[in-house]
Amino acid sequence: MEKEQQDLSAQSVIEERHAVRSYQPNVSITREKINQLLRVATKAPSGGNLQAWRFLVIDETKQKEKLYPIAFHQQQIIEASATIVALGDLEGYKKAHEIYAQAVFENNMPEKIATMSEAKYTNLYQNMQSDDLLQTVTVDTSLAAMQFMLLAKAEGFDTTPMRGFDKEQLAKAFKIPSRYTPVLLISLGKQKKPAYQTSRLPLEKVVFYNEMN
């Protein structure tokens, strides 16, 4: 029974989450709370457990004003408590040794398996075609970003994922090294106006079994 209640709670969070465009401008969310949400969000799965996501939190007024034109004047950049820039690290595989050493230290993996995994994934990512690498870190970062938005909703906050922004200007303005690819902006705060409800295609138009037809 308890498991069913947990599942329903998760479903409720998913169904209640919507992209909010108008935020209460005077709501402040502490960095401690943002860190708490991000800490849990980074439990998301990733290829080789390389965790190639990075997050730049914009929570100061001056920095929001700098981001505003870069994000094509989307008002939530100014109104929301913070905007999280979700980035994919194209050189994330360089942390493989640190990650697998930690797994051994915490008794999550035998040392032999960790050594093999480190070599395997380091070699794989080092030799991956640039387009494939970009897609891989984008997918992994997006998984963590989605978890962040659901966690935020569960805590009573609202979010907006945004892909409308100038990547080059973003990198220049916020001193983001070229190894990091901007994936998504996520505004975080409390809604001032309810989000628009959205419709979904019927399941039979998006789900197929065994082969596409």
Q: State yes or no: pLDDT of 27 exceeds 70.
A: yes
CB 158 within 8 A of CB 21: no
What architecture (CATH level 2) is domain 2-205? Answer: 3-Layer(aba) Sandwich (3.40)
Query: In sequence order, what are the residues at sequence separation of 6 or more whose Cβ sits closer than 8 angstroms to the Cβ of residue 127?
Result: none
Where in the chain are the domains? 2-205
pLDDT of residue 8: 54
Q: State yes or no: pLDDT of 19 exceeds 70.
A: yes
pLDDT digits (tens, 9 = 90+) for 145-159: 999 999 999 999 999
Helices of type H across the chain: 2-16, 31-41, 61-70, 76-79, 96-105, 111-126, 130-154, 167-173
Average pLDDT over residues 122-128: 98
